[in-house]
Structure 1
Amino acid sequence: MKEKELIRLITAAQMYYEENMTQAEIAKSMGISRPSVSNLLNKARREGIVKIEIKSFDSTSIGKSREMCNRFGLKSCQVVSCMDDKNETQERLYEAAVDFLLELLPKTRILGLGWGYNISRIIDILANRELTEQYSGKVCPLIGTATVPHKGYHPNELATDFARKTGFEADFLISPAFPTTKQERDLFVTTDNYNSILALWKKTDTALVTLGGYPCVPDHATALRFGRRLITERATSNILSYFFNWKGQQIKGEDDFAIQIPLAPLSKIKNFVGIVPVGANVGSAIGCLNTGFARHLIIDEETAEKILKTDV
């Protein structure tokens, strides 16, 4: 439902139920016919706006979206209504992410893909969509491959699936996500492959990334990379395999040799789309949002409401 239509429904309902105006008076005030007023009131009930009390604008998904944008400097925030079943809500969130991504593709030249179960599921849903057009552009991973069986942690496979469906050209990062030594890392970051991907990262205009938490499952070799630093410095959040505290400040590890897009180009991506999984820890989401990286957000209504009730 568009914002203008929602405001009309709320206005008519407030006049009728709170101000005790007749439908004829409302019709005159709004400049519409009396049957139109009746239709608005009926729709307000169907949409759940009128129950025991009339919802204010701020308590609607659109109102929460606007407040999230204002609080965290977002360009847009898609707030997905919650269902009784958590899995159904999660699927609705993935569908919303696909819808939004398809809106961005016509103006996207280079798309960077994050990793994990959520990004994998979004790509799977996209693969089953009937697309009316093919797009042009490049898609590449934002991080190397992990030694985890799940496809979500093999970003080159995600890029392949995305390219096959959309017409984008896939570029691959031939590298592990977590080299164990500086020497091993240096072997990869001096290759032509890495440097070609690095050049793409610097020009990436759209990214699809999960806003995750700490501790994370599967673990990102954190003990080897950070020792106890993530615990002592109170990590709450992760983006790709960068870790942050509640305030969005990065926590660095002396032995962190991860191969992923550097923070400088990551922070400059014009259309960084952040995905908050359903039921995510509020502190994790806030820490990610406080980095300022996300420009667009996909989140469920319950989690958004909890965030807005938390002092940040």
Structure 2
Amino acid sequence: MKDNIVFSQQLENIQLEYLTGDFARRWRSWGSTNITPSYNKFYYIMGGECYIKIDDSEYTAKKGQLFLLPCNSTQTYHHISDNCISKYWLYFTTMCNNKDLLEQITLPHYIDVKEPDYVADLFKSIITNNHLSLHEILRRKAYILQLLAYYTENSSITRKNIFKDTKLSSILTYIEENLSKDITVSELCSIFYLHPNYFIRYFKEKTGYPPIEFINNLRINRAKKMLQTQNDPVQVIAYSVGFESSNYFSRLFKRKTGFSPSEYRYIAKARPDSYDFE
């Protein structure tokens, strides 16, 4: 539970960067040995076979397989037959809390693609989208996110455990259990015997947010659920999630969601199937 709370907040700040990509046909001269790129790669095999090694795992990549080579892994790949290998390839980064997302989750190195036309169309849209206009840049990022979403939907995903740090786990448990109360940095430092300057740096490094912003994000998320499911006045909800001022709550809520609490409640209840607020 604590893992999901931290990770979901980190994902809100994901920064995706497209580096390059193309469709290629390669012969025997293609390959590299023991390289460690600082970026992620997608290889979508369209024909032929090749050898791929990612750290200690070895594969014979075949037509219809989509490979994900994560950044900072040791990689070797080369041709293994006289036949041409054809593939879409893509280089990109997904920074999240000052670290690439794919260093923070564990995914299989490849999946067998069940919708080949859909995946091929995504690659085509990404690599042919070479204009620098704002809407084209946004579309390209959207296509890459769709490709990542497809990959994660069709594979088992494991969140690398950041809670080997028992102190952080204890801090987050305390915050969750006392969210409706006034929680200050001084209070947290006193309870967990940490210097304020160190604590703020440490907490942001682990979660991606300063402590108070993290706490307020949790409060806003809890308030959103209450607005969708309860009829209590906005002021009551503000107090119940830990805000002493309903005016401050309303201002912060609108800044975070784009809606006032009353507008959010109205839209959520009037058209629940048309708005995905979570």
TM-score (norm 2): 0.28
